[in-house]
Structure 1
């Protein structure tokens, strides 16, 4: 894990986007670039920046969009990760619908987790026994959860399924999340950690994963082949 610190959120997201562009430029196999997105407030800032500054600087037509996780709500619900991305990114950039592989949050969670696992398995190339993303953009919450793997759902870090059902410990909202083995299947991880209140969490992340620091984010960042955290808080 590498942590890069910046003065502003915008500078952090610009640096992260430059790294993403580098990954895209180094992919020369002629196949689309498979990118997994996360949601949340940081994602909203990222989408706005991409539309404002990178409309002509990124080959959007070459990207196929997937999701790290999704809330189990319809796409019109304010909680929908896809809903925000559709309004803030896909529509403004005229991304074709068939380039976006959304998680259907309105469907029964267990059924949809199985369907999306199958979609990812069928569409993506493999690295070893599991599908492989060209890049995964992860968020980290103040409680050090990542994707929708929370401190009380740690078994999802080693779950053999590609996607599984999780539940938010505070709201009890069901979510569908990528599991640890798929996140860690050699994909580079770009991790923007912005916003107030995350200083203490980041200090704990620097210590790595251990019995005294058994958080989802610490586990993922400790075991990742390549992970860069972009932040303004340390």
Structure 2
């Protein structure tokens, strides 16, 4: 596992912001898939309030989502809604660069529509659209995006699916494992001591184990990395990671 441990949350945010900046300086447009959750929210706020709001060339970045709850964009649980409130409303970015999952639509129809939008805008490699960078979070049960333990078909050839949150029964639209794994780069963002035990369990898993989607899903031919803080990494074996 490629772990990068940050001694302070701000250092992690600085690294992510710099990564955004470098992608925005490339000649071609880059396609980035965002995650919901508390860590991306910290990143959105930082990008909007720092010098990166002006220095990043937002015209070169296209934003997508790994998953979305089936709620309206104005709902407090909407991943897009949080990003809009804390980032997009504070920067200059073309509307056509924002590719949201429309959680207010019929889930099955929206999953199909979003897959078509991905195909139309993201270049395919090996017959599958290839994102430049996919940011992912991880739940306490080891799920990522809306791919849950015991429910994930890692060989599903579709690009998107409708998932059900096991505890609440809430419907969500999510990228599939196959689509995520074709990305050039995957970065898992995990903060806090509350995630330390599941990080330890994933680290101890046999390679290829399907028990925890976040441990199973890796870039097939690109970079997979874990950005952790000292809390989430506290139970990892020393020498298995780089600390910043």
Displacement of 1:210 in angstroms is 5.1
CA deviations 1:131-184 (Å, max 9, x no partner) are: 0111111111111110110113121x2211101000101111000000011101
Partner residue in 1 for 2:150? 152
Partner residue in 2 for 1:130? 128
Displacement of 1:207 in angstroms is 2.5
What is the 5 A alignment of 1:12-23? 12-23=12-23
What is the 5 A alignment of 1:25-40? 25=25, 27-28=26-27, 31-40=28-37
Partner residue in 2 for 1:9? 9
Partner residue in 2 for 1:65? 63
Kept in 2: contact 1:72–1:105 (CA 8 A): yes
Q: How many residues align?
A: 230
2:82 is aligned, of 78, 81, 84, to 84
Partner residue in 1 for 2:196? 199
Kept in 2: contact 1:35–1:66 (CA 8 A): yes
Distance 2:60 2:71 in 1: 28
TM-score if structure 1 supplies the norm length? 0.91
Displacement of 1:104 in angstroms is 0.5
Moved over 2 A (4+): 16-25, 207-213, 221-225
Distance 2:117 2:212 in 1: 29
Distance 1:38 1:209 in 2: 26
SS at match of 1:169: coil
Q: In structure 2, do the counterparts of structure 1 residues 56 and 94 end up closer, same or farther at CA, with 3 Å as the change threshold? A: closer
Partner residue in 1 for 2:170? 173
2:161 is aligned, of 160, 164, 169, to 164
CA deviations 1:181-226 (Å, max 9, x no partner) are: 1101142012211133000111122234558761100101485731
1:216 is aligned, of 207, 213, 220, to 213
Distance 1:135 1:21 in 2: 13
Does 1:187 find its partner at 2:187? Answer: no
Distance 1:224 1:101 in 2: 25
Displacement of 1:18 in angstroms is 2.6
Distance 2:71 2:32 in 1: 22
Q: In structure 2, do the counterparts of structure 1 residues 128 and 140 end up closer, same or farther at CA, with 3 Å as the change threshold? A: same
Distance 2:12 2:216 in 1: 23
Which runs of no fewer than 5 residues in structure 2 stay unpaired?
234-244
Which runs of no fewer than 5 residues in structure 1 stay unpaired?
none
Kept in 2: contact 1:204–1:213 (CA 8 A): no
Distance 1:212 1:181 in 2: 16
Partner residue in 1 for 2:240? none
